[in-house]
Structure 1
C-alpha cells in the first residue's frame, strides 16, 4: 500500500511518548488504541485498511499503529453457537491479523460460555470483548445491551462465564459498556468493579448513557471516575474522539490507559496513523489530497469484494462510506448521488475520474463529527425493569429474546 503522509509540522527527533503501551492480558498493544466494533463497518476489509494505515505511523516517529487492537464487528453468542454462515464469516481474520479480536454480544451466561468455548477451543481469536453498550431500542426493550448491567448479578454471571471459559486458553476478556440507562440510572461504576472482580482484563467506557445514544456530548469525567474506581486493570475511554488531538486530550483529562475510536475513523482509516504518531509524541498528521482519498476509497472497495466474494456486494456496501470519504471536498451533488448508486468497480473508476482529484486536504470542513448523532430519547425497557436490580423469572424470559443483530455501543 502506498503511504500518503503529508506533514503539517516538522518531525521531532526522539519524541516523548504520551502514553505507554497498553497491556490486555498477555497482549501488549504498543499503540494504545482500540478500533470500536461497528456493525456493518469493522469487517475484515476495513480492519485491514486501518491496520495498513496504522502501520504508516511508524514512519511518523513512533510505535506502529498496526499494533493497535482492531476489533471485529459484533456477533451474537447464540448465532455463533448455532454457527450461522454469516457469523462464521464475520469471525474470520486475515492471516497477519494479530491479536485476532472478536466482540461478543450475549444476554445469557450459559450461551456466553458455549460461544466463548467455541472461539477459544477452536483457536478462532486471541481476545474477546463483551458488549454491554448497545442502545438500540429493539435490544433495550428486552433488557439487553446497555440495559443489562442494571441487573447486577446477571451481568456478573455473564462476565464470569466468559472469563471462566477463556482462561484455560489464556484469552483475555474485556468489557465495553455505557454510563448507564439514563442520568437517573447509572451503572458504570458498579459494573466496572464487578468486571474487575470477575477477572476481566480491561473495561472500556463509552461516556454516554443509552438515552443519549450518540447525541450530545460524551461525559469524559465519567471515564476519570471509572479510572479511580477500577485500579487493577486498564480503563479505556470512548466517545467524541474525532482526531488524534482529541485522543491525547482524553488521556490527559481522564487518566485512562487507552482510547477506543469508533465513528471518528469512518471514511478516514488514516486516523490510526495520526493516533500512532500522537501517542508517540510526534506531530505528523495525514492530510491527503482528494486523489489519495479516492485511491483509499477504491482500495476499500477491492478489499470488500474479496471479503464478500462479490464485486456487486462490495459496491453496494461502499456506498455508505462515500459521504464520509468525501466530507469537506468539492464533489457536487450530482456526482455524489451517482457515487451512491455505484454498482461496479468500472463505474466507480469512471466517477472518480470525473472528480477534481487535485484538491488539497480541506482542513476543518473534513474534520469533526461523523455518522448520525440523533437526539436524546426515552429508553424503552421491559415492564418493571427498574424496580429491582435482580432478574426474576419473568424478566429472564424477556432478556432471552434480546439477542438480536444490532450495532455495538
Structure 2
C-alpha cells in the first residue's frame, strides 16, 4: 500500500479505519459483532437489516423490539442500523425511533437486497432501483427525521444486467441528502453469482460531488481490500460474506492498509474456541433449543474451506441440544494436522 487511506467521514461520524462490516440478515447479530470486536479492524459495525413495517407493528403492540436490535442500546459506537421498506412515512418513523431511543450512529437504507421475499413480495430492497422517485422520497424523509444523525444508502449496480442504472441512482441518493453511498458490484439479477464488477463501482465516483463512495463485493482477503483502495478510488470498503467464518479478516485488512505484516489465520484450535464463544453468546440470548438451531449456519461458516468441512456440516446440521453441538464440534470440527498427529502418538 503506497499510503494508508484516511478515515472515512459519514456526516459527523468518523469511520477509522475506513472498513465497514456489512449488515447481513440472519448473521450480523450482536454475538457476531462482539466476536468481530475481539479481533478489531472495523471502523463501523452494522446490525442485521430491520423490516421497518414489522418494527412499527411491534412498537404499536407493545411487543419486544426485533431480535435484530439485540444489544444495540448497550454496545460500543459507532454503530449503524439498516432498515428496509417502501413507504417513506414508515421509514421516517422508524429512523427517528432508532435515533431518539437507540442513539444509533448511522441509519442505513437497504436498496440492494435481491431476495424475492423483499423484492417481489414487499416491493423493497433492490426492487426500488426501478423507482428512483420513491428512493428519493424515502431518503429525503429519513434525512429530515433523523437529523443530525447521518442517513446512508446501500445499492446494487441495477436490477438486471440490461438495466445498470447505478450512476443515475447515485445522483438521486446524494441529492436526497444521504451522507454516504455503498455499492455492491453486482446486479440484483446476479444475486451472488459471478464476480463483483469493481470497475463499474469505480465509475460511480465521478457522479458523486461530496459524499463518500464505499465499495462492496468479493472482498475475501487483505490483498483485495488494499487493491480496492489503490485501484478503484473508493473512500471505504464493506466486507460481507467472507467474514462470517473469518471474523479476524477485518483485522488482517486493517494491518495491510497500514503497511504492517498481516496477522496469520488463527490456528484451527483457536478458530474452534472462537466458534464456541460465539455459540455461548447465542445460547445465552435465545436459550439452548433456539440458540443451537441458530448456530448451525454459523458453525458451517467457521468450517468452510477446511479439510473435513463437508463431514462436519453433515453432522452439525442435525444438532438440537448443547450436548449434541459440543459433541459434534469435538469429534468433527477440522483440526490442525499437528494436533491430530500429537493425539495419535
1:27 to 3, 13, 18: 13
Q: Name 1:147's counterpart in structure 2.
A: 127
Q: 1:314 aligns with which of 287, 291, 311?
A: 291
Judged with a 3 Å threshold, the aligned counterparts in structure 2 of structure 1 residues 38 and 332 are, in CA distance, closer, same or farther, namely: closer
CA deviation vs aligned residue, 1:185-210 (integer Å, no higher than 9, x gap): 22211111111112211000001111
Deviation at 1:86, TM superposition (A): 6.4
SS at match of 2:186: strand
2:107 paired with 1:132:
no
Tell whether the 8 Å contact from 1:71 to 1:103 is kept in structure 2 after alignment. yes
Q: Aligned partners of 1:341 and 1:214: how far apart in 2?
A: 26
Choose the corresponding residue for 1:49, options 26, 29, 35: 35
- Preserved CA contact (<8 Å) 2:136 2:173: yes
Distance between the aligned counterparts of 1:86 and 1:37, measured in 2?
21
From 352, 361, 366, the equivalent of 2:329 is 352
Match of 2:315 in 1: 338
- Unaligned residue ranges in structure 2 (runs of 5+): 340-345
Match of 1:77 among 25, 49, 52: 52
Which one has more relative contact order, counting CA pairs under 8 Å at least 6 apart?
Answer: 1
Matched positions, count? 333
Cα separation, 2, equivalents of 1:328 and 1:134? 26
Confirm or deny: 8 A CA contact 1:290 1:359 kept in the other structure.
no
Q: Give the C-alpha shift of residue 112 in structure 1.
A: 1.2
Q: Pick closer, same or farther for the CA change 1:212–1:131 going to 2, 3 Å.
A: same
In the alignment, the residues of structure 2 paired with residue 338 and residue 208 of structure 1 have an alpha-carbon distance, to the nearest angstrom, of 34
Q: For 1:192, what is the secondary structure of its paired residue?
A: helix
8 Å contact from structure 1 (residues 192, 230) kept in 2 = yes
The residue that corresponds to 1:295 in the other structure is: 273
Closer, same or farther: CA 336–230 of 1 in aligned 2, 3 Å: same
Question: Counterpart of 1:219?
Answer: 197
Whichever structure has more helix as a proportion of its residues is 2
Q: Give the structure 2 partner of residue 245 of structure 1.
A: 223
Q: How far did residue 220 of structure 1 move?
A: 0.7
Q: Partner residue of 1:4?
A: none
* Match for residue 236 of structure 1 among 191, 201, 214: 214
Q: 1:226 and 1:333, CA in 2 relative to 1: closer, same or farther beyond 3 A?
A: closer
Provide the C-alpha distance between the structure 1 equivalents of 2:335 and 2:282, rounded to a whole number of angstroms.
23
Describe the SS at the equivalent of 2:214.
strand
Query: What are the superposed Cα offsets for residues 272-323 of structure 1, whole Å, 9 maximum, x if unpaired?
Result: 1112212222122231221111101101101111232x02222111111222
Q: Please state whether the residue corresponding to 1:328 is helix, strand or coil.
A: coil
C-alpha distance in structure 2 between counterparts of 1:74 and 1:134, whole Å: 10
Q: Which moved more, 1:156-165 or 1:114-123?
A: 114-123
1:108 and 1:158 in contact (8 A); partners too: yes
- Shift of residue 246, structure 1, vs aligned partner: 1.0
Q: CA deviation at 1:25?
A: 1.4
Which ranges of 4 or more aligned residues in structure 1 deviate by more than 4 Å?
84-87, 332-335
Normalising by structure 1, what TM-score?
0.76
**Which shifted more, 333-342 or 259-268?**
333-342
Once the two structures are TM-superposed, the CA of residue 140 in structure 1 deviates from its matched residue by 2.6
Give the distance between the partners of 1:332 and 1:176, measured in 2 at CA: 33
Q: Residue 300 of structure 2 is aligned with which of 319, 323, 326?
A: 323
Q: Are 1:43 and 1:90, in contact at CA under 8 Å, matched by a contact in 2? A: yes
Query: How far apart are the structure 2 equivalents of 1:277 and 1:17?
Result: 12
Q: Does the CA-based 8 Å contact 1:147-1:180 persist in structure 2? A: no
Aligned partners of 2:129 and 2:159 also within 8 Å = no
Between the aligned partners of 1:45 and 1:230, the Cα distance in structure 2 is 35
Distance 1:165 1:353 in 2: 50
C-alpha distance after superposition, 1:304-360 (max 9, x if no partner) = 11232x022221111112222112333375544222222333333333333563337
